[in-house]
A and B are shown apart, each in its own frame.
Chain A
């Protein structure tokens, strides 16, 4: 992993009314790094990741993508966003467009590619997420997991330098989760720089180089996956990790009891 910083966030603060949802959040993402963001609901994880590509306005703080400041008054946000892939919890595929056209739109209208080149990329990216045969289908004809994989292909087609995932498996039924995580794992293997907000703790523990634990709008603890999941330093982190473990054990024993 190179130590070059691809994204830098310093002292980010955001309020909803009088309530701070992000309170002095700073982080750095090196090229090739996979950063996991975990924490309880309402911790500000999704708000944070949506600020990182300018989908949410911020109240103070600064964000850089390499040397370009996203938060500068004159920042060309459209251009910056095209360099950052974003995957939504509820996919947000364009409902009026076929799978191929969903991917083609950005290629044609943002990257300004010709038809042939765009089509080539459409099929390449669909193959990458294992859905090459679905190019003519419409989003409503696909399962949730398939829609999410198309949305990943749509983001990848822009050839982003950084991929942001906002709880990409939270809206999926359990059997669809695996397919999406497999695609994400292959991106990790390719060396893609990724920031992942997720409740899939086992996945985060397995793929993240670095994990941020957030609660009440603050970064409570940041460290290696091993530190956060096995040896959390902060009491709040320990509570959260132990709570999940307890819930999992509870679920397992319930299932055991029922069988």
Chain B
């Protein structure tokens, strides 16, 4: 144990720097995913038929393919059509586009679970459909979807590690590099794993607080 600590200690700054990248990828991708996911969900429920089909097609396409493939398409495929992204931007884009599809499905289930009378009451006081969706339906749908949304963002926190495959120096990437230098993969990946566990634990605690704060009272 002492031996491990002595080994890991000098590498901690590099691992923490990697953790910083992990968190940046995660936060930005989740914000994008929540916004885009909400838009996709609203489109699927309320949109005109062509838009609804487009949203459905996107969601099925993303959910039917591996994140790693999506990431390579963004990072190595897009340059062929003239869109060159840095590894970090490509990772954020791929994970954001990916989580948007999953979040859309949770939000859509949430919208469907809001009682129809809520929309009618909103319209009855003179709110437009758009405002009724924004101020009455979505806040409730979001609360209904909260437990599944929380689950999804925790899963995505771990999936940020896929970004190492396109050479983003996030936590997994750093651990991989240190392992390659020292050949002590076992120790360094275990340290990385511990950092992931701590991150997931903290995020879960935070989300529990959010869930309790915003739970719908019935």
Contacts and interface: CB of A to CB of B under 8 A. Distances in A.
Interface of A: 53, 55, 78-79, 81-86, 88, 90, 92-96, 105-106, 109-110, 138-141, 151, 154-155, 158
B2 to A, nearest CB: 54
Interface of B: 115, 117-118, 120-128, 131, 135-136, 139-140, 143, 216-218
> Considering residues B117, B126, B217, which has the most beta carbons from chain A within 10 angstroms of its beta carbon?
B126
5 contacts: A55-B120, A79-B126, A94-B118, A106-B127, A109-B135
A78 B130 CA distance: 11
Given A105-B135, A106-B127, A155-B125, 20 more contacts: A53-B124, A78-B123, A78-B128, A79-B126, A81-B125, A81-B126, A84-B124, A85-B124, A86-B121, A92-B117, A92-B118, A94-B136, A95-B140, A95-B217, A96-B139, A96-B140, A105-B122, A105-B136, A106-B126, A139-B217
A79 B124 CA distance: 10
Contacts, number: 71
A88 B120 contact: yes
Contacts of B124: 53, 55, 81, 84-86, 88, 155
Which 5 pairs of residues, A with B, have the shortest CB-CB distance? A82-B126, A92-B121, A106-B125, A92-B117, A86-B124
Contacts of B217: 95, 138-141
Contacts of A79: 126
Contacts of B115: 92
Contacts of B143: 96
A95 B120 CA distance: 13
B112 to A, nearest CB: 15
Contact of B125 (A82, A139, A140, A141): A82
A78 B136 CA distance: 16
Contacts of A158: 125-126
B127 A94 contact: no
Given A95-B217, A95-B218, A140-B217, A110 B120 contact: no
